[in-house]
Amino acid sequence: MNRPKTCFLLFVALIAALAPFQSAINPYYFNILISIGINIILGVGLNLVTGYTGQFSLGHAGFMAVGAYLSGSVTVFLAPRWLPALGGGAAGETALFLLALIAGGLGAGLAGLAVGVPSLRLKGDYLAIVTLGFAEIIRVILQNMEIVGGPRGLSIPIRPTGLFGTYLAAALTVYVVVLLVHSTYGRGFLTVRDDEIAAEAMGINSTKYKVIAFVVAAFFAGIAGGLYAHFIQFITPEGFGYLKSVDIVVIVILGGMGNTPGVILAAILLTILPEGLRVMSGWEFLPDAVRGIVKNRMILYSLLLIILMLTRPQGLFSSGGKWTQKWRAMKRRGRA
């Protein structure tokens, strides 16, 4: 058994062991923990597209929406019929949930393929605009689909999303992205980001790599959407607007493009940050201007990003840091 698989299985065993205690967690913290897990999936997935492959996508929330609505629909429409057949009870619910999640992931992955194949010829800003447009189209379609509630939203009767499911999906996302990238095959993603012309000249089919990155990220965004839908139990098209896409992009930029541990940290930080800000906006002794900024997350994000670009353009948790260099030096010595 090799190291990545062992790490993955150890982590799964750990969350499986901790899962029974989740009911003891205060609902507020439980909420935050689940949100962190979902944001890790979204951030690490988008990092494959934007960080490792260098394709700027502003429509990640669109794939999340596809996954949320598709998996939500599976549960809403199939539960009454299938749940008895699956034996009812907790086991049946889990099986249906799994089915719903996979449907959501595959649906989003297909959407990724449909958007990616024609649009990945575009570069930079053009690609950002097309992906943004795609997410808006999804939102408008959902708003006009009466069967899933249109603008009123869709409520999901069950709440099977738990710590185990969420962190299993998060671990799976990290595992897939890290293993993909850390192989001779996966170096292709980075070459496309670094220099597409040189990549093609070395025999690398850059379109193929871009589409793969896009589809993998969309698949996991769909899973994240499914987890979210079965946690919040009420989804509206507005919840997957372009601000949500921006949130995910900010996670990737803050974490450092193509730096998975950094992106995980950024996902944690940016999930906790709004909570901290909410507390701060209640502090009477702060001047009104400060409280105003603190209340508006987007203003703060903009400021944060500007400061970041000026001081640490490689991301808050960049891989050029002291510790990573030490770690690399250690690995090198180990090999020699």
Partner 1 sequence: MDPKMAGHETEGPRMNPLLEMDRATVEFGGLRAVSELDLTLRQGELVGLIGPNGAGKTTVFNLITGVYQPTSGDIRFEGRSVAGRKPYQITARGVARTFQNIRLFGSLSVFDNVRAAFNIHLHHGISHALWRGPGFDREEREVETMAEELLEIFHLDHLRDAECTALPYGDQRRLEIVRALATRPKLLLLDEPAAGMNPTEKGELMRLIRFTQEKFDLAVLLVEHDMRVVMGICERIAVLDYGVKIAEGAPEAIRNDRKVIEAYLGE
> Using CB under 8 A as the criterion, which residues of the chain lie in contact with partner 1 when the complex forms?
2, 4-5, 176, 179-180, 183-188, 190-191, 193-195, 197-206, 212, 258, 328, 332
The position carrying tokens 């499914």 is: 226
CB nearer partner 1, residue 39 or residue 319? 319
- Cα–Cα separations (whole angstroms), residue 251 to 143, 144, 308: 27, 30, 12
Q: Tokens for 180?
A: 């993909």
Which string of DSSP letters, residue by residue, matches 84-130? HHTTSHHHHHHHHHHHHHHHHHHHHHHHHHHHHHHHTTS-HHHHHHH
- Give least dist CB 229 to partner 1, A: 27
CB nearer partner 1, residue 63 or residue 209? 209
- Give least dist CB 116 to partner 1, A: 15
Question: 208: how many CB neighbours lie within 10 A of its CB?
Answer: 12
CB nearer partner 1, residue 78 or residue 113? 113
- Give least dist CB 327 to partner 1, A: 13
- Give least dist CB 193 to partner 1, A: 7
CB nearer partner 1, residue 35 or residue 259? 259
Contact 244, 232 (CB under 8 A): no
- Give least dist CB 212 to partner 1, A: 7
The position carrying tokens 């992205």 is: 177
CB nearer partner 1, residue 326 or residue 328? 328
